[in-house]
């Protein structure tokens, strides 16, 4: 209300002229919200019951699933979607907790392996009970099996698309796009 002064040609006074109400966006919004809530919850549970953050858990998990239970720092960064420096400090923490051990790479003296220790593996096992229960309780048990398939399929495609995309254009550079905005 009190929309007194005649603003410029304000199109449809829907909300703000943003196409924010596009119904297709409902899925996107639901995804955002559910994901945020869900991860927060799982992280809380993990911290409360196992004193591990989600990132730490994921790190231990990836190590456990790797040959010889070890990974190069670099690879680890890719897998847990963290920056190099992020992984350095994460492994610092895990190492000082005794869950992981660093070992210099024999063939490449620049790098090192992060190796899962036995206590690390045990801690992971304990945490996985918490975590898998949480996933089951908050996610699996709420989603219909068919929808689960749809999610897996879609999200795989999304990941591929995003991965392929910084510079690479999946769609050839707009030929002669007749300008769409008075860009700044």
Binding site for its own copies (CB under 8 A): 1-2, 15-20, 24-28, 30-31, 33-38, 40-41, 61, 64-65, 68, 81, 121, 124-125, 128-129, 132, 135, 138-140, 142-163, 165, 181, 183-184
CB nearer to its own copies: pick between 105 and 151: 151
Residue 135: contacted member of DNA, its own copies, none (CB under 5 to 8 Å, by partner type): its own copies
Task: Please tell me the count of residues contacting DNA according to CB under 7 A.
Answer: 26
Helices (H), the chain: 25-50, 54-64, 73-80, 84-96, 118-138, 145-163
CA-wise closest residue to 76 among 50, 106, 102, 40? 102
Distance CA 88, CA 78 (A): 13
Q: Single out the segment in contact with DNA by CB under 7 A; choices: 14-22, 26-34, 104-112, 151-159.
A: 104-112
Q: How far is CA 126 from CA 46, 50, 61, 129, 159, in A?
A: 10, 7, 12, 6, 30
Distance CA 26, CA 168 (A): 29
Q: Single out the segment in contact with DNA by CB under 7 A; choices: 12-20, 86-94, 118-126, 153-161.
A: 86-94
CB nearer to DNA: pick between 104 and 118: 104
Residue 98: contacted member of its own copies, DNA, none (CB under 5 to 8 Å, by partner type): none
If one asks whether residue 111 binds DNA (CB under 7 A), the answer comes out as yes
Q: Is 71 left (phi over 0), alpha (psi -120 to 50) or beta?
A: beta
Distance CA 143, CA 151 (A): 10
CB nearer to DNA: pick between 46 and 130: 46
Contact footprint for DNA (CB under 7 A): 53, 55, 72-74, 81-93, 102, 105, 107-112
């Amino acid at each position: 209300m009190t929309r007194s002064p005649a603003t410029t040609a304000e199109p449809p006074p829907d909300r703000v002229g943003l196409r924010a109400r596009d119904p297709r966006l409902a899925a996107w919004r639901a995804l955002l919200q559910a994901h945020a809530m869900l991860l927060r919850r799982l992280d809380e549970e993990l911290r409360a019951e196992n004193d591990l953050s989600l990132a730490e858990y994921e790190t231990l998990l990836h190590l456990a699933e790797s040959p010889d239970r070890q990974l190069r720092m670099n690879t680890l960064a890719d897998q847990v979607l963290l920056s190099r420096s992020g992984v350095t400090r994460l492994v610092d923490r895990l190492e000082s907790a005794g869950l992981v051990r660093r070992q210099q790479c024999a063939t490449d003296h620049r790098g090192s392996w992060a190796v899962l220790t036995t206590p690390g593996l045990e801690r992971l096992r304990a945490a996985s009970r918490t975590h898998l229960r949480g996933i089951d309780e908050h996610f699996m048990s709420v989603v219909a099996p068919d929808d689960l398939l749809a999610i897996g399929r879609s999200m795989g495609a999304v990941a591929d698309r995003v991965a392929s995309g910084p510079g690479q254009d999946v769609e050839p550079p707009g030929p002669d796009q007749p300008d769409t905005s008075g860009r700044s």
